[in-house]
Amino acid sequence: MIVTLTANPSIDRTVMLGGQLRRGEVHRIVASTSHPGGKGINVARAITASGVPVTAVLPGNAGDPLPNSLIEAEINHRLVACPGRARVNLAITEPDGTTTKINDLGPTLPADCRTAITEILREAAATASWLALSGSLPPGVPDDWYAELVATLRPLPARIAVDTSEAPLLALAAGFGTAAPDLIKPNAEELGQLTGLDGHALELAAHEGDPAPTARAARALIEQGGPAAILATLGSAGAVLATAEGAWYAASPPITPRSTVGAGDSSLAGYLIADLDGADPARRLAYAVAYGSAAAALPGTAVPSPHHTDPNAVTVTALSPTHL
C-alpha cells in the first residue's frame, strides 16, 4: 500500500492551443481536459492505473467538486474535513509541448486540519510501505510542516518520500541529519535550490551527455545526512538516481511531447511501483523515466497506465565512482 498526501489539492484544467502562445492576443482552444490534481493526487492516479493499492489523503469537504471527481476517477481517497474549496489550476499547452502553468493559492489549512491529517498519516504509517508527501503548502501552513511530518513519522514502519520546492524544500533540508525522508524527488531547479548550484546548468550538462554534476550534487546531500535516495528528474534529459551505494543515469526515450503537466509526479509513481515490486536501483530508475516520459507524451493532465510505458526501452547507466 502507498499513501499520498496532497496538502493543497486542485482541479487541474489544461487547455491546448493550435499555435504558439502570444501575450496580449486572443487564442482559440482546440481541446481541453479537467482532472483532480495536486502532486500527491497525480501520483495516486498513476499508481491506481497500475493496479497497485493506494490511498490519497487530502483536505476538503463533501460539497466541493474535487471529491466527486476522485470518486468518478475511482481513486481511493480519504478526505479530511476542512473548510474552503479546492483551487483551480490552469495549464496552457502549445503544439510543441511547451506548457505555461497558472496555479491558484488554495484555501487556508487551519491548525486543527493539519493535526487531523497528521493523525491519519501516523495511522497509515503503521501498515503502508510508502508515504508520499507531495506538492506546495496552502496558505496558513508553516514552511517547515513537511519537516515536522517527517520527524513525526520517521520512527514508524513506512518509508517516506517528499516532493516539494522552494521554502518547504529548504525547511525540509534544514532537518537533514536528524529526520531526513527516505527519498526526495527534486527537479534540476530544486536540486540547485538545495545545493546552491545552477539548476539550469545541471540540466544542460545532462542534455550534453554529462549527468555527473547532478549525481555529485545529489550524493553530496546524501553524505551530509540527507535522504537515503535522491531521484533527480532532468526534464527531457532523463533522470539521475543517487544513493549511498552509487548513482545511475537514464536518458529519456524519444517521444513527441504533448504536455509536461504531471510528468514529475508520474516519475515518482513509477519509482514507487518498481520499489514495491522489489526492483533494484537501476530498475527503479528505468520505471521512473518510463513513467515520466509517457506522461509528457500524453495530452493535458493525463497520467500513464502500464500500457503507455516500456521500462525495458530505457537505458540505465551506472556512473563510475571516478565521476562522483
Q: Give the tens place of pLDDT for each residue, 184-238.
A: 999 999 999 999 999 999 999 999 999 999 999 999 999 999 999 999 999 999 9
pLDDT of the residue at 323:
58
pLDDT of the residue at 257:
82
- Closest to 130 in 3D by CA, of 219, 57, 33: 57
Give me the number of domains the chain comprises: 1
272: domain CATH number is: 3.40.1190.20
Question: What pTM value is reported for the model?
Answer: 0.92
Instruction: Determine the length of the chain.
Output: 324
Q: Give the tens place of pLDDT for each residue, 263-297.
A: 999 999 999 999 999 999 999 999 999 999 999 99
- Scan for cell 527531457, then name that residue: 236
Q: Which residues are catalytic?
A: 265
pLDDT of the residue at 34:
86
Quote the crossing angle between the two packed helices 199-207 and 212-223, to the nearest 10°: 130
- Closest to 54 in 3D by CA, of 42, 65, 66, 62: 42
Residue numbers of the chain with a pLDDT score lower than 50: none
pLDDT of the residue at 44:
97
pLDDT of the residue at 17:
94
User: Contact 58/40 with Cβ under 8 angstroms?
Assistant: yes
Average pLDDT over the chain, rounded to whole? 94
What range does the domain containing 47 cover? Answer: 2-22+29-323
